[in-house]
Amino acid sequence: MQVLFAFLLAIPFAQGFADVTSFQKTLFFGVLCSTAIASALLVAPSAYHRLNFRAKDKEQMLRTANALMIGGLSFLMLSITGSVALIADFIYSPAVTVVSGVIGLALFAGLWFVLPFIRRHPDVQDSDD
């Protein structure tokens, strides 16, 4: 995630960036923002834990950290898929851009979200007890 973010921060200063299309600039900025949000969400549980260590609220801390991590994974999925689509658009065609984006989203969503829900034990339930 940090390497992707650093790479994205360097791109606008590359020599050929002035030649990109309006779509590519918009997609780039969306990917950059998504990566920044993913970074914030994925690091937040560590900061939350450090600041609330021994606050006697472990259950709330775990629920909050879980929600932050799921949000972070969602934005990381968008960041990686968007980066692949951006590169595909730059070196290939709009059709390859769409196909790579759809395949990327399906792959990440399937592995990171659908598979865990399918494999969840039937006795597991979310409760707000």
The domain containing residue 88 runs over which residues?
2-11+22-118
* pLDDT confidence of residue 85: 96
Is residue 43 in some structural domain? yes
Is residue 102 in some structural domain? yes
* pLDDT confidence of residue 54: 77
* pLDDT confidence of residue 5: 78
Please tell me the pTM assigned to this model: 0.83
Is residue 124 in some structural domain? no
Is residue 47 in some structural domain? yes
* pLDDT confidence of residue 125: 65
- Please choose, from the candidates 33, 17, 31, the residue with its C-alpha nearest in 3D space to the C-alpha of residue 86: 31
Is residue 68 in some structural domain? yes
Report the domain count for the chain: 1
d(CA 102, CA 104): 5
Q: What is the 3-state secondary structure (H, E, C) of 36-104?
A: HHHHHHHHHHHHHHHHCCCCCCHHHHHHHHHHHHHHHHHHHHHHHHHHHHHHHHHHCCHHHHHHHHHHH
- Please choose, from the candidates 45, 109, 102, the residue with its C-alpha nearest in 3D space to the C-alpha of residue 75: 109
Query: Could you list the pLDDT tens digit for every one of the 129 residues in the chain?
Result: 778 878 787 887 787 788 889 999 999 999 999 999 999 999 999 998 888 877 788 888 899 999 999 999 999 999 999 999 999 998 999 999 999 999 999 999 999 999 998 988 777 666 554
* pLDDT confidence of residue 128: 53
